[in-house]
Amino acid sequence: MTSTTAMLLASGDEMSFIQIIIYGLILGLVITTFRWLRRRRNAPRFQALAERYGGTYAPKAQARAERFAGVEWATEPRSPDVHDYLCGNYQGHPFYCFGWEYSTRGAMGDGESGGVRVVRSVYTVQLPCYVGYFSVRKHSSARRMFGQNDVQVGHPEFDEQFTVNGHEPVAAQQVLRGSLLEFLLNDSRSKDYPLWFLGDRLLCSFTDRLSPPDVEPALEFMAQVVGALDRTETPAEGRSVLEEDVVPLSG
């Protein structure tokens, strides 16, 4: 190989590398612009929802990760920053929702190496009383064959269709009965809405971006879940417990 040929090949490799860098920058700019345009388009729609529900809307906020202890996907998120924070009152139930994007910890533990980018929408409704910490999900028969309930509520049909996980099995058994059990069994939306009971809060989350048209259907289902609870305690008075979860940011 002549020196001229070697120089041409080296030049070609360098150009290819530069092209990759340029394409990457262009792609990053396109994605950033698309996200900015989407949030700019959605902001007035979220603001309209805040006015409808007698609440507030903040484009940016910070979630207190410790308040989501017991939710497996919220374990040690890289960033507490959340977006499109909306709070208010739906049919007498205080609520909030927001979008959360973060990276999980990688193999090196730095949030980058081997980490996974997570995009979620999160909805939380205040419960009338403390109910314990556990999750409820409806699974297909095929999926249930490969799983096993951590908690059996004692209803054969429910135990067959739902997976209940948590560290307070007695609390889960006391809550998942009566009207609520029948509601979850018979309502077709149960398969689409995984639920986490977090003490005095009910949380629902999806691996999808928060979108204004999705807010009311989620809140309606969650309000019906709360309404089906067999209330055995007096609702707490005073400051909403939801105020401790997220801090809205100005600007």
State yes or no: pLDDT of 130 exceeds 80.
Answer: yes
Cβ count near 50 (within 10 Å): 17
14 confidence band (pLDDT: 50, 70, 90): low
pLDDT above 60 for 116: yes
Residue 157 confidence class, pLDDT cut points 50, 70, 90: very high
* 119 neighbors 167 (Cβ within 8 angstroms): no
Q: Which residue has the tokens 């009152």?
A: 89
Q: What is the pLDDT of residues 189-221, one digit of tens each?
A: 999 999 999 999 999 998 888 999 999 999 999
Q: What percent of the chain has pLDDT over 90?
A: 43
Residue 56 has pLDDT above 60, yes or no: yes
Check whether 178 has a pLDDT greater than 60: yes
Return the higher-pLDDT residue of 55 and 102: 55
Tokens 């150009």 belong to 15
Mean pLDDT over residues 166-176, rounded? 89
pTM, to two decimals: 0.76
pLDDT at residue 121 above 90?
yes
What's the CA gap between 191 and 51, in Å, rounded?
A: 30
63, β-bridge pairs = 246
Report the pLDDT averaged over residues 116-129: 89
| Torsion sign across C-alpha atoms 172, 175, 177, 181 | negative
Which pLDDT score, from 0 to 100, does residue 233 have? 45
Q: Is the pLDDT of residue 235 over 50?
A: no
pLDDT class of 64 with cuts at 50, 70, 90: confident
d(CA 134, CA 169): 8
What pLDDT does residue 245 have? 75
CB 187 within 8 A of CB 225: no
What contacts 165, CB < 8 A, 6 or more positions away?
A: 134, 135, 149, 150, 151
Residue 208 is predicted with a pLDDT of 86
pLDDT of residue 239: 44
Tell me the mean pLDDT in the region 67-95: 82
Instruction: Tell me if 60 sits within 8 A of 81, measured CB to CB.
Output: yes
Q: 193: exposed, middle or buried (C-beta count within 10 Å: 0-12, 13-18, 19+)?
A: buried
The tens digit of pLDDT for each residue in 16-52 reads 767 777 766 666 665 556 555 556 677 999 999 999 9
pLDDT of residue 72: 73
Q: Which residue has the higher pLDDT, 90 or 110?
A: 90
